[in-house]
């Protein structure tokens, strides 16, 4: 059974070129074939075989290493020696399913088993081999290299689709949305023909891409207005994103307490109240969103109320400083640890959308106070967070010039 699983895995992973690799001596043989195939003069980078060919075997689920190796005709004694030799680096008795490995055989005598190489992570390899009759294990840590890659897109239907169209990993478009969260409300201000571009570090081991590093620079054009962000990197440390002039992209308050929701009722001095059936001002902004949608603190501050408050139902009030306060009403529940006196930071989830108190359906009623007075948050220009300190401006200018120059050219019409 195990043998079948292994064979199937090997066949699947080797794909069309499988016939070639079934022989246990494939390793040396294939490397030379690949070199032949890449002899064309244009090729300067050495070609590396795909992972599935370099490590054709996979430990199946619910299987011990011993079971797997026994099915590959490796003796119990050899397995014992391999496990013992690897012990200083890894306990192979607890190998994780999905771990890939390759086997080595003697070139003179292909029936003579010589060694095994495990790939625990793209970075960590353990090579166990028999040298002069004894087994030795060596741990190999592969160096990670980074390369800058660029992407750009135009919004045709949604931001997410523009990323898919650009063949970009969706986590990167989320990161871009986080970078510009203070400039653009990505839940409701994205427009058709908005454009974006970015440069980002991609991490490699050899030729194998293993993940993404930091976005170095990015631009988002929203309804014709361009917002540019550049990473401030000082030495090895990433110190956040700033506008090219060194001013902060962050503001004291987020543009919305809800990441994905629509405004169902704006701030109005006079309005007909749907429940009370009388003319009453609407002194906040309503966000329609399903029950349970997380609500974010729009700024740093301290909770001054987290409890039941009549028509407001479950209410949270936050005091940001001596000037600004915000309130969040009709919550289904409070986030863990949120009570009067709790310190909160911008973007922290404080509670969840509900319909408690005087409410016709699940929504967040959000209030914004300036010096104790009800104010329309959508009409406010919020104060900016701190800019790059003047003593660091020279460093910032240097990294800025390099990162901005790595943005791709626009080529849309």
Q: By CB under 5 A, name the binding residues for Zn ion.
A: 286, 365
Question: Which of 287, 145, 230 has the alpha carbon at shortest distance from 405?
Answer: 230
Distance of closest approach, residue 372 Cβ to Zn ion, in angstroms: 19
Beta-bridge partner residues of 242: 230, 248
Closest contact distance (angstroms) between CB of 314 and Zn ion is 14
- Alpha-carbon distance of 93 to 162, in angstroms, equals 46
List residues bridging with 198 in a β-sheet: 151, 218
Nearest 5°: phi and psi at 357?
75, -150
- CA angle, 249 as apex, 248 and 250 as ends, to 5°? 90
How far apart are CB 258 and Zn ion at their closest, in Å?
Answer: 13
Q: Which is closer to Zn ion, CB of 290 or CB of 337? A: 290
* C-beta closer to Zn ion: residue 229 or 289: 289
Q: How far is the CB of 285 from Zn ion (least distance, A)?
A: 7
* Minimal distance, residue 282 CB to Zn ion, in Å: 6
Q: Which is nearer to Zn ion, 153 or 354 (CB)?
A: 354
Give me the residue whose beta carbon is nearest to Zn ion.
Answer: 365
Q: Are strands 294-296 and 363-370 parallel, antiparallel or unpaired?
A: unpaired
Q: Are strands 363-370 and 373-375 parallel, antiparallel or unpaired?
A: antiparallel
Q: Which residue has the tokens 């104010």?
A: 375
Q: Cβ closer to Zn ion: 27 or 326?
A: 326
CB of 368 to Zn ion, least distance (A): 12
Of 269 and 336, CB closest to Zn ion = 269
Strands of 167-300 (E only): list them.
195-205, 208-222, 225-234, 237-242, 262-265, 285-288, 294-296
Q: In angstroms, what is the minimal distance from the CB of 238 to Zn ion?
A: 39
CA atoms of 11 and 207, how far apart (whole Å): 23
Considering the complex, what minimum distance in angstroms separates the CB of residue 387 from Zn ion? 36
Token pair recorded at residue 102 = 């390759």
Identify which of residues 58 and 364 has a Cβ nearer to Zn ion in the complex.
Answer: 364
Unique residue bearing structure tokens 């660029």? 150
For Zn ion, the closer CB: 182 or 352: 352
For tokens 């199946």, the residue is 60
DSSP helix/strand/coil, 32: helix
Shortest distance in whole angstroms from residue 257 CB to Zn ion: 13
Q: Which is nearer to Zn ion, 304 or 355 (CB)?
A: 355
**Distance between CA atoms of residues 217 and 230, nearest Å:** 4
- What is the Cβ-side half-sphere exposure of residue 339, based on CA atoms within 13 angstroms? 2
Cα–Cα distance between 263 and 188 in angstroms, integer? 8
Nearer to Zn ion, 3 or 273 (CB): 273
Tabulate helix, strand, coil % of the chain (nearest 5): 25, 35, 40
């Amino acid at each position: 059974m195990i043998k079948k699983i292994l064979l199937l895995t090997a066949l699947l992973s080797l794909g069309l070129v499988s016939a070639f690799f079934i022989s246990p001596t494939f390793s040396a043989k294939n490397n030379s074939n690949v070199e032949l195939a890449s002899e064309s003069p244009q090729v300067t980078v050495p070609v590396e075989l795909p992972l599935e060919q370099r490590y054709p075997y996979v430990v199946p689920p619910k299987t011990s290493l011993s079971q797997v190796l026994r099915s590959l005709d490796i003796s119990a004694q050899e397995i014992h020696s391999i496990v013992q030799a690897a012990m200083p680096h890894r306990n192979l008795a607890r190998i994780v399913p999905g771990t890939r490995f390759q086997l080595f055989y003697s070139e003179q005598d292909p029936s003579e088993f010589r060694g095994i190489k495990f790939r625990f992570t793209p970075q960590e390899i353990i090579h166990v081999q028999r040298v002069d009759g004894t087994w030795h294990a060596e741990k190999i840590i592969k160096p990670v290299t980074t390369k800058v890659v660029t992407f750009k897109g135009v919004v045709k239907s949604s931001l997410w689709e523009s990323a898919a169209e650009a063949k970009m990993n969706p986590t990167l478009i989320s990161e871009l949305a986080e970078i510009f969260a203070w400039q653009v409300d990505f839940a409701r201000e994205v427009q058709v023909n908005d454009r974006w571009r970015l440069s980002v570090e991609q991490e490699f081991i050899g030729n194998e891409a293993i993940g993404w590093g930091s976005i170095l620079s990015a631009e988002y054009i929203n309804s014709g207005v361009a917002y540019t962000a550049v990473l401030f990197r000082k030495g090895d440390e990433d110190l956040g994103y700033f506008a090219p002039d060194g001013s902060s992209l962050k503001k004291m308050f987020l543009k919305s307490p809800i990441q994905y929701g629509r405004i169902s009722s704006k701030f109005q001095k006079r309005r007909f109240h749907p429940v009370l059936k009388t003319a009453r001002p609407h002194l906040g902004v309503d966000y329609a969103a399903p029950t349970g949608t997380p609500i974010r603190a729009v700024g740093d501050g301290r909770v001054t109320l987290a409890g039941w408050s009549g028509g407001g139902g479950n209410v949270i009030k936050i005091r940001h400083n001596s000037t600004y306060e915000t309130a969040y009403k009709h919550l289904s529940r409070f986030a863990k640890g949120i009570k009067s006196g709790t310190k909160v930071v911008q973007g922290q989830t404080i509670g969840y959308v509900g319909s408690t108190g005087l409410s016709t359906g699940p929504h967040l009623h959000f209030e914004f106070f300036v010096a104790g007075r009800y104010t329309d948050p959508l009409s406010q220009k919020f104060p900016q967070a701190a800019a790059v300190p003047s003593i660091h401006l020279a460093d910032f200018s240097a990294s800025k010039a390099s990162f901005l120059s790595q943005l791709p050219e626009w080529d849309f019409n």
